[in-house]
Amino acid sequence: MSGRPRTSIGTFGEIRVVDLGGRYCAETRYRDLDGRLRKVRATALSARAVRSLVKDRLAARVGYGSGGLLSLSSPFSDLAELWLDDLTSRDISEGTKENYRDDLRLHVRPFFAGYLLGELTTGRVEVFLRQELAISYSRAKHSKTLLSMLFAFALRHDAIPRNPLEGTSDLIRPKHVVQAMSLEQVKQIRAAAAAWRTGPVVMGPRPDGKVRDVCEVLLGTSMRPGEVLALRPVDIVETRKGMVAHVQGTVVERKKTGCHRQDHPKTNASNRRIPVPEFAALVIRERLAQMTPAQAESTIFHNRDGKVLTMHNLRRTFRDFVKDAGLDGLGITPRWYRRTGATILARGIGVEAAATFLGHTSTAITAKHYIELDTSIDHIPATILDLTLRPLDPDGSLLGRRASDDEEDLLDEIDEDDPDG
């Protein structure tokens, strides 16, 4: 069968202009999402004006999302609100949801608030991402991830014909100047933590050393700060080859509920059993010796009231350590212990094995450890960490090596994992 080709959905045919004697009428046919052709008509005082007017009406036409909640003429804010409603039902941690909400509120929404969905071009998204990248690579990457989810949501609702992120430039990660703490910096912070508030002129109660000990465990295990704060006596097992810690919880801060121990870690891969280097195991044993059997399910590092030691208190005291060590201004946070451990392990046993130890990419070790705790746990990571970071006679050769690109990817993942660490 011959004939003119069918107009594609979301497109229109020839615009015909008729002179009505002093006024002009323009008309075309637009194929809606339901497949039907419908007339779009406009009148104006000139042929040029009437063509422009009919094109404006075509641009605002509900060609996508016909009968739905979103269309090309919907404001970006409508997309944001509907996506936020959908976010509440998603099976991800509340902390991750809060991060998405904050990124949307503080960064993405202010830039795009004045646009309709039909006005979200690749060029405009590119401008936004360039601005974000000028602030920081991490911020630009988070914003791009968020936009990807928002635009995917719009696509699922037939609100836009294509993803405006397609065609934007790749985000080029700047080279890290500092990848991890040096061995000398580790020693300086250790010394500052041991001497913190111990002088004769210190007012108030003397420190109990818990934050100092938390730092040793962070250094020895490369756990996330919240994972160390969530450790309980029941999570610690002594084996023939040394201590093993079961990571099965984390301390979280929520805007509505405050700080508390969550009975599961950040991800499924984070639920893992890991060997503890001897210098960190000594600290844990000393803390366990001060606890009673009735405290088996209390956190090892608790405050004077027996409640969880909060991330706020950890960060505040750690800032004092860093300042007293003469390292203020370098941006060192508790997360740097995890970055330091990741650097050592990546260079000592490889990036993939390091990522697994850190609880990023695989649950294979966790599953294996449930079956045969004493014989299946690989104690090589603990040996490497102990050799490099022990207080007496440490070997800093691994920290002295040049970083690889894969190692930088691992460290970026750590920074994204714990943005407030």
How many other C-beta atoms can be found within 10 angstroms of the C-beta atom of residue 222?
27
- For 357-415, the DSSP string reads HHTSS--HHHHHHHH-HHHHS--HHHHHHHHHH-SSS---TTTTSPPPHHHHHHHHHHH
Cα angle 242, 360, 384 (rounded to 5 degrees) comes to: 35
Query: For 321-380, how does the pLDDT look when each residue is reduced to its tens digit (9 = 90+)?
Result: 999 999 998 889 998 998 899 889 888 888 888 888 887 654 443 333 333 333 457 788
Least confident among 24-28, 66-70, 79-83, 375-379: 66-70
Tokens (6 digits) for 357: 């130890």
- For 209-277, the DSSP string reads SHHHHHHHHHHHH---HHHHHT--GGGEEEETTEEEEEE--EEEEETTTEEEEESS-SSGGG-EEEE--
Query: For 253-286, how does the pLDDT look when each residue is reduced to its tens digit (9 = 90+)?
Result: 776 667 788 877 776 767 888 899 999 999 999 9
**Bridge partners, 262 (sequence order):** 250
Residues of the chain above pLDDT 90, percent: 43
Whole-Å CA distances, 200 to 66, 308, 339, 364? 75, 29, 35, 52
Helix (H) or strand (E) holding 18: strand 16-19
Amino acid in position 2: S
Q: Which CATH class is domain 183-417?
A: mainly alpha
How many other C-beta atoms can be found within 10 angstroms of the C-beta atom of residue 202?
11
CATH no. of 76-156: 1.10.150
pTM over 0.85: no
Taking the C-alpha atoms of residue 139 and residue 127, their distance in angstroms, rounded to an integer, is: 14
**Sheet (strand 236-239) strand order:** 236-239, 242-247, 272-275
Residue 63 pLDDT greater than 50, yes or no? yes
Identical fold for domains 76-156 and 183-417, yes or no, is no
Query: For 3-33, how does the pLDDT look when each residue is reduced to its tens digit (9 = 90+)?
Result: 566 666 667 888 999 998 889 999 998 877 6
Amino acid in position 173: R
Task: Give the pLDDT of residue 325.
Answer: 94
Taking the C-alpha atoms of residue 311 and residue 303, their distance in angstroms, rounded to an integer, is: 12
Domain locations along the chain: 16-59, 76-156, 183-417
Query: For 173-187, how does the pLDDT look when each residue is reduced to its tens digit (9 = 90+)?
Result: 776 555 689 899 999
Taking the C-alpha atoms of residue 302 and residue 10, their distance in angstroms, rounded to an integer, is: 61
